[in-house]
Amino acid sequence: MKNLSFEKTAIKDGFWKFYEDLNRNQVVKSVYDRFKETGRFDALKCLWKEGDENKPHIFWDSDVAKWIEGVGYLLMKNPSAKLESLVDEMVDDIAKNQREDGYFNSYFLTVNPDGIYQNRGDHELYCSGHLIEAAISYHQATGKDKLLQCMLKNVDCIYRAFVEEKTAKFQTPGHEEIELALLKLYGYLGNEKHLELARFFLNQRGEQREDSNTQYGQDNLPVRELKEAVGHSVRAGYLYTAMAILAKIDEDKELKAACDRLFENITTKKMSITGGVGAERVDEQFSYAYDLPNGDTYNETCAAIALALFAGELQETQADSKYGDLIERIYFNNLLSGVSLSGDRFFYMNPLELDLKKYQRSTFQAACERAKVFECSCCPPNILRMLATIPRYAYTVDGANIYCNQFIPGETNLTINGKDAKILLKTNYPADGELEFTYHGEPAALYIRIPSWCVEYPGETENGFAVYSVKDGDVVRVSLPMQIHFMEAHPNVQDNAGRYAVMRGPIVYCMEGLDNGENLRDITILEQGTHRVVTEDMIPAPILYMDAKRRKMTDELYRIKNAEREFFTARLIPYFSFANRKATDLLVWCMVD
């Protein structure tokens, strides 16, 4: 059971075409420009000296790596001599400055050579991991192996320092990523040493010998004993992803069981309705069960991406629509909210509520405006590489069983019974729920995910999929009723008590102050009122206009409960499109009557 590679699907039109084009036309350039300005690319030249501006940072190489990885994916679909020459120059710098023994990190080579492999928290292996992913992507795209050779040499260096000679001062990295990268490298080249090194890093965890904050850096338990998602949410997500891959390679049931427990724990106790995770702003980490604040949350874009990667790997382990459901939730909400509709501004945090006045008063509050660049700029290039591979989890194939997990209009090429096959999908999803599949190829079974939000779907399902036997030329039509739903959170989610999230299909909606005035929390949506679904320019998914009421203004600070209300039409926009005009209030969880 394998996810079909993203390049097998040509996106034709609709919602995801908007984002594919935005990514290619704007995001890649915006991220490049900011990284260029801030010296991240030049850092690879390893020429920085005390007194120079743009002092390198321990994790800058990972930013660059994710940009290269994303460019590789873009090149697989559309060649670009210009992008290629930019990458080639970076690769030359890396090759030139890589140490004889294979070590490379532009910060440590220039700023702190004595610090190499001395501190678990220093992100060296995290950077190496991202550079490995970049090398694979760029090699796949161009056939050029210079970066790949550098990284093979680098992996040998890591192997010596951590396994053979144990000269490193720690055993496992404080920020995971190397594990999944090594497993991907093993999948690409088949070198057992890379698999062994990945296993080593995963199996070393949980010895609690690394530092005092073992939970933050996922050293609290051996990986096979994990039950609860804890610690830094991006790091945790990358670790769980690696665990899922290794569980498949080794057919390791204990490891798979741990992955299942973690998936269950996150999705039933530790995730915002937008798919955001890592609620606790302090240290960007998972909080305790049901602690899911809205304004005060972290929900880093990278953490949602890491969770999608985890779900994407698990999707290959069993036919269950819950993985596709989660990926859809993340993609349509907390992932896309990380990038502006103009493709040049980003969010690191993705709160579900913003109070502009509080923000202007305090530095504690989440930013109300997307930024062009962050000091810690992991998210923008992460979005780049994800949007360059939009269909990566759309189809899973198991023999002659084809699972359609995500509904991306276009043409998908695959192989069934050793012969070429093709699926054409026509849909306006998520504007509506009409799906039309045309199949060409050997007889097969087509499993179409019926999203968990679609409680009105009248047909039968198997593990959450509607099943159709298809032969060459067959057309399958599925209609997903697209109602507006008022969602409630578990009673223990204190911040959402008495409040509801408006969803239509996979999309979570929100109100902004610019449309609805200042006191958003005082607005009540009328459940039985008129709700209009309107397509407008600028936003690639429908807007909702909903009858609503709110209290009238008064001079009194406190008064006896008063039933008087004024009625108006509230404008709700997709959550992913918030903060695309100017700084304003935001609210997802509203009152409903």
Residue owning tokens 């995290």? 126
Q: Can you tell me which of 45, 426, 521, 581 binds a copy of itself, judged by CB under 8 A?
A: 521
- At position 232, the amino acid (one-letter code) is H
State yes or no: residue 227 binds a copy of itself (CB under 8 A).
no
* Residue (of 430, 560, 571) closest to 504 by Cα position: 430
Residue owning tokens 């989890």? 393
x-or-dash string of contact with a copy of itself, 522-541, rule CB under 8 A? x-x--x--------------
Measured torsion, CA atoms of residues 487, 284, 376, 125, in degrees rounded to the nearest 10: -120
Q: Give min distance, CB of 559 to a copy of itself, in A.
A: 6
Question: Which among 97-105, 248-256, 263-271, 436-444 is the span making contact with a copy of itself, rule CB under 8 A?
Answer: 263-271
Q: Give min distance, CB of 360 to a copy of itself, in A.
A: 9
Which CB sits closer to a copy of itself, 37 or 518? 518
Q: Can you tell me which of 94, 182, 247, 273 binds a copy of itself, judged by CB under 8 A?
A: 273
Q: Can you tell me which of 25, 169, 486, 582 binds a copy of itself, judged by CB under 8 A?
A: 486
- Please give the Cα distance from 126 to 41 (Å, whole number): 17
**How would DSSP label each residue in 496-531?**
GTT-EEEEETTEEEEEEHHHH-S-GGG-EE-TTS-E
State yes or no: residue 564 binds a copy of itself (CB under 8 A).
no
CA of residue 521 relative to chain centroid, distance: 29
Question: Which among 101-109, 312-320, 415-423, 519-527 is the span making contact with a copy of itself, rule CB under 8 A?
Answer: 519-527
- Number of chain positions touching a copy of itself (CB under 8 A): 55
Helix (H) or strand (E) segment spanning residue 475: strand 475-479
For a copy of itself, the binding residues in 1-20 under the rule CB under 8 A are none
* Residue (of 321, 302, 299, 298) closest to 311 by Cα position: 321
Q: Give min distance, CB of 268 to a copy of itself, in A.
A: 5
State yes or no: residue 458 binds a copy of itself (CB under 8 A).
no
State yes or no: residue 484 binds a copy of itself (CB under 8 A).
no
All residues at 6 or more sequence positions from 501 whose CB lies less than 8 Å from its CB, including other chains:
273, 486, 487, 488, 489, 508, 509, 588, 589, 590
All residues at 6 or more sequence positions from 127 whose CB lies less than 8 Å from its CB, including other chains:
58, 59, 60, 61, 62, 65, 105
- Please give the Cα distance from 349 to 281 (Å, whole number): 9
- Please give the Cα distance from 310 to 449 (Å, whole number): 19
Q: Can you tell me which of 518, 532, 535, 567 binds a copy of itself, judged by CB under 8 A?
A: 518
Q: Give min distance, CB of 208 to a copy of itself, in A.
A: 21
All residues at 6 or more sequence positions from 528 whose CB lies less than 8 Å from its CB, including other chains:
none
State yes or no: residue 490 binds a copy of itself (CB under 8 A).
yes
State yes or no: residue 582 binds a copy of itself (CB under 8 A).
no
Q: Can you tell me which of 31, 242, 489, 570 binds a copy of itself, judged by CB under 8 A?
A: 489
Helix (H) or strand (E) segment spanning residue 568: strand 565-574
Q: Give min distance, CB of 492 to a copy of itself, in A.
A: 5
Question: Which among 71-79, 106-114, 250-258, 357-365 is the span making contact with a copy of itself, rule CB under 8 A?
Answer: 357-365
State yes or no: residue 303 binds a copy of itself (CB under 8 A).
no
Tokens, residue 561 = 């409960």
What count of other Cβ atoms lies within 10 Å of the Cβ of residue 507? 27
State yes or no: residue 562 binds a copy of itself (CB under 8 A).
yes
State yes or no: residue 497 binds a copy of itself (CB under 8 A).
yes
Which CB sits closer to a copy of itself, 496 or 577? 496
Q: Can you tell me which of 395, 495, 543, 576 binds a copy of itself, judged by CB under 8 A?
A: 495
Residue owning tokens 């390198």? 56
Which CB sits closer to a copy of itself, 417 or 492? 492
- Please give the Cα distance from 314 to 324 (Å, whole number): 10
- At position 342, the amino acid (one-letter code) is S
Tokens, residue 308 = 């999608």
- Please give the Cα distance from 440 to 475 (Å, whole number): 9
Q: Give min distance, CB of 339 to a copy of itself, in A.
A: 24
State yes or no: residue 325 binds a copy of itself (CB under 8 A).
no
Quick check: 177 and 62 in contact, CB under 8 A? yes
Q: Can you tell me which of 114, 192, 375, 557 binds a copy of itself, judged by CB under 8 A?
A: 557
Question: Which among 246-254, 305-313, 368-376, 484-492 is the span making contact with a copy of itself, rule CB under 8 A?
Answer: 484-492
State yes or no: residue 556 binds a copy of itself (CB under 8 A).
yes
Question: Which among 12-20, 69-77, 115-123, 552-560 is the span making contact with a copy of itself, rule CB under 8 A?
Answer: 552-560
Q: Give min distance, CB of 558 to a copy of itself, in A.
A: 5
Which CB sits closer to a copy of itself, 81 or 557? 557
Collapsing DSSP states into helix, strand and coil, what is residue 320?
Answer: coil
Q: Report which DSSP code applies to 163.
A: I
Beta bridge partners of 586: 354, 512
Which CB sits closer to a copy of itself, 119 or 569? 569
State yes or no: residue 212 binds a copy of itself (CB under 8 A).
no
State yes or no: residue 362 binds a copy of itself (CB under 8 A).
yes
Q: Report which DSSP code applies to 114.
A: G
- Please give the Cα distance from 72 to 88 (Å, whole number): 11
Residues near a copy of itself, by CB under 8 A: 267-269, 271, 273, 280, 282, 287-288, 290-291, 355, 357-358, 361-362, 455, 485-495, 497-501, 518-522, 524, 527, 550-562, 591-592
